[in-house]
A and B are shown apart, each in its own frame.
Chain A
Amino acid sequence: GAGVSQSPRYKVAKRGQDVALRCDPISGHVSLFWYQQALGQGPEFLTYFQNEAQLDKSGLPSDRFFAERPEGSVSTLKIQRTQQEDSAVYLCASSPFAVNTEAFFGQGTRLTVV
């Protein structure tokens, strides 16, 4: 596709349920990022992949959060045992290069934990 694609666009999860959020980056983009955006706030960094390597996961809020990009393209962000504080928009972004970078965002997945 022409841009970064995320699915699902909306997800409602019961507290304690596991969820998986998918990101299809722009084809050929080396860098992939996950961000979490709470209402009225800027995006907060979660993790960064360069190809299939997860080089920075310093922003993952707890060990319930796990991300992978096994073949260096599609990425999945998994949240186990969801809590109400996990409710947010999860944004994926990709960039063509390994350094710098101008990142292009997908439409996001709005997660609501009830």
Chain B
Amino acid sequence: QKEVEQNSGPLSVPEGAIASLNCTYSDRGSQSFFWYRQYSGKSPELIMSIYSNGDKEDGRFTAQLNKASQYVSLLIRDSQPSDSATYLCAALFSGGYNKLIFGAGTRLAVHP
């Protein structure tokens, strides 16, 4: 079992819709979580971080964290074709220095 699990997708949504990306993690001690966006052939780009239970909003993006359920999600409102990318969920491993554990990523396709 991987430590951070994501549905590989592709998740296909129409332009303007809400895209919902989900992630579960196994390390109960993890306190910090991150969402990265990675375009094909490019490096991961940090888009959201979340440390507390609940929602955190930044523009069209909302991250949600539920530590009891070990669940993290990312909502993208008003999805645009330019949002088409792979979204990587990462958890900061509690047992070592600053070790980010990544999921395999969910590929999102936003079609016009």
A108 part of interface (Cβ distance < 8 Å): yes
Question: Is B44 within 8 A of A48, CB to CB?
Answer: no
Which listed residue, B46, B93, B96, touches A103 by the CB 8 Å rule? B46
Q: How far is the CA of A6 from the CA of B67 in the complex (A)?
A: 35
CB neighbours of A50 from chain B (8 A): 97-98
Partner of A105, one of B45, B97, B103, B105: B45
CB distance from A59 to the nearest CB of B (A): 8
Partner of B88, one of A42, A59, A95: A42
Number of interface residues of A (CB under 8 A): 28
The contact of A44 among B44, B46, B96, B102, by CB within 8 Å, is B102
- Chain A nearest CB: distance from B100 CB in Å? 6
CB contacts (< 8 Å) of B90 on chain A: these are 42
Task: Check: B42 CB closer than 8 A to any chain A CB.
Answer: yes
Instruction: Report the Cα distance A99→B97, complex, angstroms.
Output: 8
The answer to whether B28 has its CB under 8 Å from any CB of chain A is no
Total residues of chain B contacting the partner, CB 8 A: 24
Do B104 and A48 have beta carbons less than 8 Å apart? Answer: no
Given contacts A91-B43, A105-B43, contact A55 B100 (CB under 8 A): no
Given A41-B104, A42-B103, A102-B49, check contact A107 B42 (CB 8 Å).
yes
20 additional A-B residue pairs with CB within 8 Å, beyond A45-B93, A103-B46: A31-B98, A35-B102, A40-B104, A41-B105, A42-B4, A42-B103, A42-B105, A43-B88, A43-B102, A45-B100, A48-B96, A48-B97, A59-B99, A91-B43, A91-B44, A100-B92, A102-B46, A105-B36, A105-B45, A106-B43
